Copies of this chain bind each other. A is one copy, B any other.
Amino acid sequence: MKVTVWNENRHEQKNPVVADIYPEGIHGAIASFLRAEGLEVGTATLDEENHGLTDEVLDQTDVLVWWGHLAHDEVADEVVEKVHKRVLQGMGLIILHSGHFSKIFKKLMGTSCDLKWREADDRERLWVVDPSHPIAEGIGQYIELQKEEMYGEHFDIPAPDELVFVSWFEGGEVFRSGCTYRRGNGRIFYFRPGHETYPTYHNKEVQQVISNAVNYVSPVNRDYPTYGNHKPIEKISEK
């Protein structure tokens, strides 16, 4: 299995706080713990040619992890189209945190993907609401993060196919924090935490969830469905 971790990688260049937390970039941190699970992991960033997502890279990617925030509009529409096509073909997609406003997530959801937010060091608890779900494997009753950006409902997404986590924030909000979707031959997981000024991707439980999700959304090995004109069944007597 081949994983590609895509990151906007702009905060890391501009903000020493972020650079200090993630010296190899958010993509580097995520790639590192996924490699420690034995996965083959590449990275790609916005300012590379084609944002690092050439046809060759995409064709070989089984699961794409996506982090973006400041520069969603700078992602080329052609690249978004290619990623969209690959998801419908079966590539897994994990959208992290502020990626809720990425072109690719909005295109796959069909909604505004808007939400409430607050940068105020809120304490967060991500409660497991589906204990039978493989994405929650190894996780206790909740994941507690001492400080995070708040995201609050209403989160303008389609009702998730499966709801795995619901967040509590000390400031008074809740949020559907771990959501799976199926689109075409592909599976998608949205996972809320990961504001750039907190060391969230160094948290072992957050890492566990992302590793679990990579496995969960990995492609299923089968032929694609065919579409278009279809012949009627032959009568048994005609065979």
CB within 8 Å of B: which residues of A?
88, 90, 107-112, 114-118, 120, 122-123, 125, 127-134, 136-141, 146, 150, 152-156, 158-159, 161-163, 166-174, 176, 181-187, 220-233, 236
A138 to B118, CA, bound (A): 27
Number of copies: 4
Q: What does DSSP make chain A's interface, helix, strand, loop or mixed?
A: loop
Given contacts A115-B227, A131-B184, A167-B174, 15 further A-B contacts (CB under 8 A): A90-B132, A111-B184, A112-B227, A118-B231, A118-B232, A132-B183, A136-B220, A137-B220, A141-B226, A146-B236, A153-B166, A154-B225, A154-B227, A158-B158, A171-B230
A232 B108 Cβ-Cβ under 8 A = no
CB distance from A101 to the nearest CB of B (A): 11
| The residue from B122, B123, B158, B223 contacting A182, defined by CB atoms under 8 A apart | B158
